[in-house]
Amino acid sequence: MAHLLTPGPAASAQHMIRMRLALMRNSLRGDNAANLYIGVSTGLILAFGTIAVAVLWPAYLPLTLAAWLSGWVFGPIFIGGSEALRPEYFSMLPAKPGRIAVALLAGAFAGPAPAVNLIALLSLPVYGWRFGPAGVLIGLAAAVTTLITMVMISRVIVALIGLFVRSRATAAAVGIGAGTAIALCSNGWAPVAALGGTDTTAWSQVVLRVLPSGWGVAAVEAPWPLALAILVAGTGMIVLLLAVWAGLLSRRVVSAARGGVPPRRGTPRPFPITSGARIAAAKELRAWWRDLVRIQLLATAFSFALVFPLLLVTIDVWIMVPFTGLVAIVMAAASSANLYGSDGTALWLTLMTPGAERADVRGRQLAWLLIVGPAAVVLSLAGTLVSGEAWAWPWVLGLLPALLGGGAGVIVLLAVTSLVPGTDPHKRGGNPLSTGADETAETSLAWLVLVAVPATALPAAGAILLHPWAGIATGVLTGALSAWGLGKIAYRRLENHGIDLLNLMKHGPAPQADKPTTADLPIQHRIGVTISYAIAWLPLFPQGLAPMVMKILGIEDRVWFLALHLPPIWQWPTIIFMIALGLLMYGYAILIPIRLSSSSSVTTS
């Protein structure tokens, strides 16, 4: 007989916090540690920036806090909401769901993100100072309730995704939400400007205070009885979210994860009787249709491409509408950049089948073109027709084939040269939209595509400037060349280095003491590379290429392009400086890791 001990309370918050900290400590090696330091430094800068906003431009405080909230809302969607403490770990503990939820919540706070966010929320008592000591007190209380509310909202979203994203429709809905959010981040100023800007009586200010992130500001500004009521309501909101979360958690741990597979009806269509690249394309098309991660990423790409130009239409700028299809191609390429990584170790079958590498690469290109091509063509033709921008025809018709071919070439080349290992599909956890890959690495791969694919269309763009219709021939030619040539490099590389890719996915990067990899970049270079990836687009695209196109076309609208606000004599130098700055940052970010790792591999081989 076993001794019957009286157990202490299971799932205590204190233990959960210690476990979370232990997990974090153990994961702080190499890449992860550098990423954490970069993330925390960036977060701290933004947090102190928020406090500065409260002091210097208080009218913008609700908007700034709404940005923090959107980080908690969209973070789980973009970066997979990786949970350090998975509810599944604790499903066998003898405790009620509510108790486990409270303990998990405590664990969720034992990390850098809530701490950084709390500093940002100290902007509330700082803002409260304007209203006297009571304002500071109310601001402090509101900072605490707002922080808990934001973290809870994030947790509830992760739980909702894990439970309900089980069909193509829900995966696409999440993708559309994400794509719209990215579009709003880049062009959201347009509808705001159209609707009345920073006028504090405008409805947008009301909306920002009604959002959970704005309750603190509302409480600080309100007379104290109303302020107390708002704080009580905030606490009630936390209790409600906690109850919802506990319910979702207990449902999640007893519902089998389905690995992101949509439900099906009927027997699948028989495979086409063919061989080589076409049979590989048939396999790949089925993967696109049956993988919720891929469906979500495609929905993100196309919804961004649609919403991005439409936001500018609110201020009657139609210039982007003809390029909807082209934006869709580039975005779809960016979300397909880790093709081999997302399939995991299934690569072994391609490697064990004599001569299958070529068929596999060509098949993936073909499938991608079949999925993205028709929609991109329709969007381009419809966009150009509807916008009535007749000047855009040679640009659209020339760049369309160039980008399609460039995309088909770049994605397979990067998929075999810059593979980011994830978790094998059948071993993934409760979140159907997470591939388990390192999000920072996947994001920088996507940025690389966003630069490389447009670069393949530069010859076509140059030809269009010389003669409109020469561009179409050039576009078709460079598109075909990119797809063929880059694909050829890709399958050659797969033939020679496929085994290394397989073992990268199976065992992770080989730890070789005398061979430094990107992970071992000196910290100042890692920070530099990350910052370059994060902001190089700003000088290159919106502040460089966009005003250049507008100047060439003679469009007077100055919008937010710095160069166009300067005296004419400074406009071209500024544009050229911005483009050069952007290219320089991308060049640095791409070349430094390559140079450091290749110089070391020469010495060891």
Partner 1 sequence: MSTHREPALRTTGLRKAFGDHLAVDDIHLTVPAGSFYGLVGPNGAGKTTTLAMAVGLLRPDAGRAEIFGVDVWRDTVQAKGLIGVLPDGNAMPERLTGREVLTYLGLLRGLPPTVVAERTDELLQVLELDSAERTLVIEYSTGMRKKIGLAVALLHAPRLLVLDEPFEAVDPVSAATIKTILRRFAGNGGSVIISSHVMALVEQLCDHVGVISDGRVVAAGSLADVRGAGTLEDAFVDLVGARTGGTEGLAWLTS
Give the footprint of partner 1 on this chain (CB under 8 A).
1-3, 258-259, 261, 264, 266-268, 270-271, 273-276, 279-280, 282-283, 286-287, 290-291, 343-346, 348-349, 351-356, 359, 424-426, 499-500, 502-503, 506-507, 510-512
Classify 514 as helix, strand or coil: coil
Distance in angstroms (rounded) separating the CA atoms of residues 279 and 363: 7
CB of 466 to partner 1, least distance (A): 45
In terms of CB distance, is 5 or 602 closer to partner 1?
5
Distance in angstroms (rounded) separating the CA atoms of residues 95 and 97: 7
CB of 511 to partner 1, least distance (A): 4
In terms of CB distance, is 466 or 513 closer to partner 1?
513
Q: What is the DSSP string of 197-237?
A: TT-TTSHHHHHHHHSGGGHHHHHHHS-HHHHHHHHHHHHHH
CB 525 within 8 A of CB 516: no
Output the CA torsion sign for 286, 287, 292, 294.
negative
In terms of CB distance, is 221 or 291 closer to partner 1?
291
Count of CB atoms within 10 A of residue 200's CB?
Answer: 10
Tokens of 71: 């980080």
CA nearest to 407, candidates 456, 362, 442, 441: 456
In terms of CB distance, is 198 or 601 closer to partner 1?
601
Angle between helices 292-313 and 324-334 (to 10 degrees): 150
CB of 304 to partner 1, least distance (A): 25
In terms of CB distance, is 217 or 299 closer to partner 1?
299
CB of 80 to partner 1, least distance (A): 18
CB of 141 to partner 1, least distance (A): 48
H or E stretch covering 504 = helix 470-507
Cα dihedral 459, 462, 467, 469, rounded to 10, equals: 40
CB of 259 to partner 1, least distance (A): 5
CB 137 within 8 A of CB 128: yes
CB 163 within 8 A of CB 288: no
CB 505 within 8 A of CB 343: no
CA nearest to 73, candidates 168, 156, 176: 156
Q: Which amino acid is at 600?
A: S
In terms of CB distance, is 20 or 362 closer to partner 1?
362
Residue in the structure block whose two tokens are 């060509």 = 362
CB of 479 to partner 1, least distance (A): 27
In terms of CB distance, is 506 or 558 closer to partner 1?
506
CA nearest to 71, candidates 153, 179, 191, 186: 153
CB 487 within 8 A of CB 409: yes
Q: Is 6 exposed, middle or buried (0-12, 13-18, 19+ CB in 10 A)?
A: exposed
In terms of CB distance, is 51 or 293 closer to partner 1?
293
In terms of CB distance, is 45 or 510 closer to partner 1?
510
CB of 487 to partner 1, least distance (A): 17
Residue in the structure block whose two tokens are 């309100």 = 222
CA 408, distance to chain mean position in Å, is 21
